[in-house]
Amino acid sequence: MNTDLLQKHIKNYKQDKADDPEQFNIDWTERKEHVKKYQSFTEQKIVVMDEEAIYEYISPLWAMLIWGNKRYVVDKLIEDNGLPTLKKELTKLLWDSPIEQRWDEFRKNIKGMGPAMSSELLCKTHPEKYIVWNRRAKIGLDYLGVGDLPKYDYQLDGIKYKELCNVEKEIAKELNTAGFREDSLLMVDYFIWHELQVEETLSGSKTKSDIDEEETLEQDTSDFIHNDIRDKIRNIGQWLGFEANIERKVAAGSQVDTVWESTIGNMGRVVYVFEVQTKGSIDSLIVNLLKSLNNPAVQGVVAVSDQTQLEKIKDHADGVKGLRDKLKLWDYKEVLNVHENLEYVNESINKLDLVPDGF
């Protein structure tokens, strides 16, 4: 980390505080309110929450700003995971130990909650221990010269999350030394948002070399990667206006990773099917996609993987009548890039409050 650059921005932050103490008092109060709210949710309280209480718990998160209809998103979380499982895994994430293990287990066991939402719950419940990790945090730490940052969500495992928490704890110490009244990692998050969102860093956060870099899906974390990409395809579909679901049976003998569905007037449904391939038999993938086409509403099937496996899938499908003309191929890196850009667009638009929440 570039400590000289950090000190420069701490100095700027301190001057901004002196120039506008009212705004800093507002920020200070807001931080305390966030912590008070989420620390009021004890393990015992979460265990007995009903669906409405879960909504009140999750919907105010900053990570939910990307969603216009927060009620729909929370209902999907409950539907996909089951209320008892969701509550159980939330308590394990927040209070079990060590953090490396519970982070990975939560990310593996819970569908639809990415690192931004999970880390925000951790930070606001334990602000002295854990950080908020999102696009802005990545941009800020990258600007400070912190190395080996995860490019994609699936690369942020428990070990890396703990490592990043320790990095921000060092920033918290420097802020405290400079005279700020607390050394919580929520304060560091405010500092990163206020000081380290440099324009050229924001515009260049996804470079051509990043996009073009050859990268193959890591087999040792294939389940983790699979679920992350599956959920992101579902999110993309929702943002595009589809009814999007994960792990749905679309035909006899065919349960697929993600489904996008649209109803066209009184003419019926149009369904698009997505299968993420990180490991396993390509023949099984081909058979599953072929079976899905037995549903007449399925208009297209999409295989998602890295370039190496996509070539193999294409070769296998070319000899399968009825599939080769329907099959589309989608590089998983493009899925991640599309998701990041749509996430930014939705967050920006939803901040305008053009449609009331729950409309």
The three-state (H, E, C) secondary structure of the chain, written as one string: CCHHHHHHHHHHHHHHHHHCHHHHHHHHHHHHHHHHHHHCCCHHHHHCCCHHHHHHHHCCCHHHHHCCCHHHHHHHHHHHHCHHHHHHHHHHHHHCCCHHHHHHHHHHHCCCCCHHHHHHHHHHHCCCCCCCCCHHHHHHHHHCCCCCCCCCHHHCCHHHHHHHHHHHHHHHHHHHHCCCCCCCHHHHHHHHHHHCCCHHHHHCCCCHHHHHCCCCCCHHHHHHHHHHHHHHHHHHHHHCCCEEEEEEEEECCEEEEEEEEEEECCCEEEEEEEEECCCCCHHHHHHHHHHHCCCCCEEEEEEEECHHHHHHHHHHHHCCCCCCCCEEEEEHHHHHHHHHHHHHHHHHHHCCCCCCCCC
Quote the pLDDT of residue 244.
92
Most confident of 47-61, 65-79, 305-319: 47-61
Could you read off the pLDDT of 135-191 as tens digits, one per residue? 899 999 999 999 999 988 888 999 999 999 999 999 999 999 998 877 789 999 999
Do residues 160 and 299 both lie within one domain? no
What is the total count of domains within the chain?
Answer: 2
Q: Is residue 352 part of a domain?
A: no
**Over residues 81-95, mean pLDDT:** 96
* pTM score, whole prediction: 0.81
Do residues 156 and 297 both lie within one domain? no
**Over residues 22-29, mean pLDDT:** 90
- pLDDT-derived band at 49 (thresholds 50, 70, 90) equals very high
**How far, in Å, are 61, 95, 141, 170 from residue 164 at the CA level?**
21, 19, 9, 10
**How far, in Å, are 257, 323, 332 from residue 313 at the CA level?**
16, 11, 14
pLDDT at residue 13 is higher than 50 = yes
Do residues 231 and 173 both lie within one domain? no
**Over residues 193-205, mean pLDDT:** 65
Do residues 186 and 245 both lie within one domain? no
Tokens describing residue 138: 């990545």
Do residues 236 and 311 both lie within one domain? yes
Do residues 231 and 186 both lie within one domain? no
Q: Is residue 188 part of a domain?
A: yes
Higher pLDDT among residues 356 and 6, named by residue: 6
Instruction: Give the chain's radius of gyration (CA, Å).
Output: 22
Q: Is residue 89 part of a domain?
A: yes
Do residues 257 and 191 both lie within one domain? no
Distance of CA 220 to the CA centre of its chain: 21
Do residues 193 and 225 both lie within one domain? no
What residues does 251 pair with on adjacent strands?
A: 254
Q: Is residue 32 part of a domain?
A: yes
Most confident of 203-207, 219-223, 312-316, 353-357: 312-316
Q: Is residue 355 part of a domain?
A: no
Do residues 166 and 237 both lie within one domain? no
Do residues 39 and 157 both lie within one domain? yes
Quote the pLDDT of residue 269.
83
Count the residues in the chain. Answer: 359
- Which residues, 6+ apart, have CB-to-CB distance to 159 below 8 Å? 100
Quote the pLDDT of residue 302.
95
Percent over 70 (pLDDT), the chain: 90
pLDDT at residue 211 is higher than 80 = no
Task: Report whether the peptide linkage leading into residue 98 is cis, meaning its omega lies within 30 degrees of zero.
Answer: yes
Domain region containing 190 = 3-205
Percent over 90 (pLDDT), the chain: 58
- pLDDT-derived band at 334 (thresholds 50, 70, 90) equals very high
Q: Is residue 353 part of a domain?
A: no
Q: Is residue 78 part of a domain?
A: yes
Query: How far apart (Å, rounded) are the C-alpha atoms in residues 12 and 62?
Result: 25
* Angle between helix 3-19 and 158-177 (nearest 10): 60
Report how far apart the first and last C-alpha atoms of the chain are (Å, whole number): 45
Q: Is residue 280 part of a domain?
A: yes
- pLDDT-derived band at 356 (thresholds 50, 70, 90) equals low
For residue 294, the domain's CATH number is: 3.40.1350
Do residues 80 and 201 both lie within one domain? yes
